[in-house]
Amino acid sequence: MAIMELTQSNFDNVVSQHDLIIIDFWANWCAPCLTFTKIIEEVEKDYPEVVFGSVNIEKEKRLAEEFNVKSIPAVMILRDRVVVFAESGALPREGLRELIEKAKDLNTDILREAQKQKARE
């Protein structure tokens, strides 16, 4: 599956239909972003079951604000609609693969319960 351009209009639909999504926040003027995009393009070929999304922060400012993206490149991993990883900076190829494997193995029921308890506090 190719990297999907995520926009304000398609974001909720994409997230609701897929279990695991890797999101790259980037901009055209950001040289490290372009380098990281190449890494993502290589890695996504090995994970056909994972959706890889791309958010251009200049076009999709509201999405970047909603996810509190302060610097780019930034990568976010959503598992069952829960953000399980968010960090600024380009990751190395193997680091990205390792994160994907960890995200695939997560028990999101436990994570959701922890989020509910935190919200109650």
The residues annotated as belonging to the active site are 30, 33
The answer to whether the CB of 112 falls within 8 A of the CB of 82 is yes
pLDDT tens for 75-112 read 999 998 888 899 999 999 999 999 999 999 887 777 77
- What integer pLDDT is reported at residue 26 of this predicted model? 97
Nearest CA to 56 out of 5, 119, 114 is that of 5
24-42 tens-digit pLDDT = 999 999 999 999 999 999 9
Which residues are 117's β-sheet partners? none
Please state, in angstroms and rounded to a whole number, the distance separating the CA atoms of residues 95 and 109: 25
Q: CA-CA distance, 5 to 11, in Å (whole number)?
A: 9
> Which pLDDT belongs to residue 120?
75
User: Which domains, and CATH codes, for the chain?
Assistant: 4-120 (3.40.30.10)
Specify the DSSP class assigned to residue 17.
Answer: H
Task: Report yes or no: 100 and 78 within 8 Å, Cβ to Cβ.
Answer: no
